[in-house]
Amino acid sequence: MSANNAFHIAVLAGDGIGPEVMAPAIEVLRKIEAKSGLSFRFTEAPAGANNYLATGKSMPDSTIKLCEEADAILLGACGLPSVRYPDNTEIAPQIELRFIFDLYAGVRPARLIPGVPSPIVGADKRGIDLVVIRESTEGLFASMGKGVVTHEDARETMVITRKTSERLFEFSFRLAERRKARGKPGVLTCVDKANVFKAFAFFRGIFDEIEKRHPNVKTDRLYVDACSAMLVKRPWDFDVLVMENMFGDIVSDITASLIGGLGMAPSADIGDKYAVFQPCHGTAPDIMGQGKANPTGMILSAAMMLDWLAEKHGVESAAEAGETIERAVDQIYAGGIKPMEFGGRNGTADITKAVLAAL
């Protein structure tokens, strides 16, 4: 086995249904390992609300060190509504990791899988296949833990820097170019509120500068309110969208809802060196331990991880393995798998078994 084909994966299962969806993803990767020539070493580590209850910290230093040493990080879901910091904010290692490892590009694909219902009329025929890229370390989230609250008012500060915006846009243009090479439109849309806020005018101005380096990518610019309205009417008109942190937080939930909900949506937070892969859904403590959790978003996040490892290390078989997982997921939904959030009877075990069989 070539060392280039062997990857060390940090596994942070988290809270609630996090461990329940992580286990199927690991099973799928083990099946891929047996078929592809890839090799994985998984190391589990604590993170989340339960660790905070036990230790007073969302993550021990050993977890952060593991993440630093691993080739990639798989994250389940973290946080519980009933567990809060003293300032009443939720325990959120997923956000803390973005700041610790400078994971500035939040990648949120939204692809409608055959057989999955969409609330958009015509989506079953036209299809939905887009990617929201959310800046993940600045914007309004730069104020996390730093806001000022008095009896009379509360203030948070939005931060947009040239350095991070340039890296974000370069990442976004490269993604659009890769999608174009794979037969997608390769159109990149900058989403902002540049008509009202100087910070967003600054953001758009940097986008215009970076555009000149990528003449083969068609571009567009939209205000976030207009973009949101268009997404719920004609989502098939979009390919890649890039935006500030808070806007991305909201818009990516909209796009996930267009393809069946958060249970179907994978995601990644990517920096220059490190990357975290996790489903878009939360910890869902109301269904914890009942076998109802949909592991699809977690499984597809593992597929995203393989694609990223392929690009980072030049291992084409990892990209092929990621595509194999996506095809298996498509196959089971086209074949009639129906998770419980769609009114079906298929829980965690059924979906996992079906994907493994399809592989």
Please state the domain extents for the chain.
1-114+264-358, 118-259
Q: Nearest to residue 7, comparing CAs of 304, 300, 318, 276?
A: 318
**Could you identify the residue written with the tokens 């993440």?**
67
- Structurally, at CATH architecture level, domain 1-114+264-358 sits in 3-Layer(aba) Sandwich (3.40)
Q: What is the DSSP letter of 236?
A: G
Q: Nearest to residue 219, comparing CAs of 204, 235, 199?
A: 204
175 Cα distance to chain centroid: 15
The secondary element (H helix, E strand) that includes residue 124 is helix 123-126
Count, in order, helices (H) and strands (E) of the chain: 12, 12
Give the angle subtended at the CA of 203 by the CAs of 199 and 209, to the nearest 5°. Answer: 145
pLDDT at position 35: 87
pLDDT at position 2: 37
Instruction: Write down how long the chain is.
Output: 359
Q: What is the DSSP letter of 90?
A: B
- Structurally, at CATH architecture level, domain 118-259 sits in 3-Layer(aba) Sandwich (3.40)
Q: Do domains 1-114+264-358 and 118-259 have the same CATH topology?
A: yes
Residues of the chain with pLDDT under 50: 1-2
Please, what is the average pLDDT of the chain? 95
pLDDT at position 3: 52
Q: Nearest to residue 133, comparing CAs of 81, 169, 162, 101?
A: 169
pLDDT at position 213: 97
